[in-house]
């Protein structure tokens, strides 16, 4: 039983699913005037199940290519510990239950949850062996959780939700291209092309830096909204904007280092830098709303 639970946890990518749901939690807390713990609990459970389902479907589809890569060959299906039908059934149940829970929050939440699942499992996953554009496509479902929290709290998709979506959308490019740089040799064993130029060169590094540069102004837009006549409930104080700007400079330096050196060490620094950046600015947003505004 312990081994079976471990296999299901691997299929759902338990740790990854939990970190993704953190973005939804922050989005909800940024939007809510008063926390409805019933809605919040449904968001966390429903969002977690949908993300876990997406991860499961991804592994069902990639069971053969996973056998070829060192980091994935011990997953339940390529290792022969789980039948494809079992993985498919488990993922389907998670996805269905997750979307029903999100629907009980509001219809928009369920629609965005379903869109994330379909885009990730049915579009992004097959594209990984076809073209590096898969990263661009995969950034759409990957950006939904942050925005989903706002939609769950307000039942609205507007400037605020769009801004949260854009932040997480742009963040994914330096993050995933840093990972792709580190795992390029392993990916190539399975015919997966993730880097924008297809190889570890300055063109790929420049793309990672470019999206980091775009991320900086987008992440502080809530501070700018009042000055350009945009009404928004998502705001930043000057101190909050400065702290987020500093985090942007921090991430930019990591991406610039990769462009300069084009080596594994710099890619690892960018990857860890991106892992620090996103939760850090999300926490800054929360502290700014609840302590400074």
Q: Which residue has the tokens 């990263």?
A: 135
Residues in the chain: 293
| 28-68 tens-digit pLDDT | 999 998 999 999 999 999 999 999 999 999 999 989 888 88
**Do residue 94 and residue 20 come from a single domain?**
yes
**Do residue 10 and residue 123 come from a single domain?**
yes
Full domain range(s) for residue 292? 159-293
pTM for the whole structure: 0.94
**Do residue 74 and residue 116 come from a single domain?**
yes
**Do residue 4 and residue 149 come from a single domain?**
yes
Stretch 273-283: mean pLDDT? 97
Question: How far is it, in rounded angstroms, from Cα 138 to Cα 172?
Answer: 9
| CATH number of domain containing 121 | 1.10.357.140
| 119-134 tens-digit pLDDT | 999 999 999 988 889 9
Query: Residue 14 pLDDT more than 90?
Result: no
Number of separate domains in the chain:
2
Stretch 241-251: mean pLDDT? 98
| 262-276 tens-digit pLDDT | 999 999 999 999 999
* Residue closest to 174 by CA, chosen among 77, 51, 54, 267: 267
Stretch 254-283: mean pLDDT? 97
Query: Residue 8 pLDDT more than 90?
Result: no
**Do residue 252 and residue 141 come from a single domain?**
no
- Decide if 55 contacts 19 (C-beta within 8 A): no
**Do residue 178 and residue 103 come from a single domain?**
no
- CB count within 10 Å of CB 277 equals 23
């Amino acid at each position: 039983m312990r081994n079976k639970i471990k296999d299901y946890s691997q299929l759902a990518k338990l740790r990854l699913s939990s970190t993704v749901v953190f973005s939804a939690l922050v989005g909800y807390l940024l939007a809510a005037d008063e926390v409805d713990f019933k809605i919040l609990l449904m968001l966390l459970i429903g969002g977690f199940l949908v993300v876990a389902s997406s991860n499961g479907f991804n592994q069902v589809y990639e069971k053969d290519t996973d056998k070829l890569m060192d980091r994935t060959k011990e997953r339940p299906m390529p290792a022969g510990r789980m039948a494809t039908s079992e993985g498919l059934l488990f993922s389907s149940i998670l996805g269905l239950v997750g979307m029903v829970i999100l629907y009980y929050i509001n219809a928009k939440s369920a629609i965005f949850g379903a869109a994330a699942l379909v885009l990730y499992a049915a579009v992004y996953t097959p594209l990984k062996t076809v073209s590096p554009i898969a990263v661009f496509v995969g950034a759409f479902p990957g950006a939904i959780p942050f925005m989903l929290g706002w939609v769950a709290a307000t039942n609205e998709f507007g400037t605020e939700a769009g801004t949260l979506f854009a932040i997480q959308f742009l963040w994914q490019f330096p993050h995933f291209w840093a990972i792709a740089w580190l795992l390029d040799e392993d990916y190539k064993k399975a015919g997966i092309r993730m880097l924008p130029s297809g190889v570890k060169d300055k063109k790929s590094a420049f793309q990672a830096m470019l999206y980091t540069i775009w991320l900086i102004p987008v992440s502080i837009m809530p501070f700018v909204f009042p000055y350009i006549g945009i009404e928004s409930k998502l705001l930043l104080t000057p101190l909050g904007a400065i702290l987020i700007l500093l985090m942007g400079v921090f991430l930019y330096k990591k991406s610039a280092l990769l462009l300069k050196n084009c080596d594994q060490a710099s890619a690892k620094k960018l990857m860890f830098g991106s892992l620090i950046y996103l939760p850090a600015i999300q926490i800054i947003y929360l502290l700014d709303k609840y302590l400074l505004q």
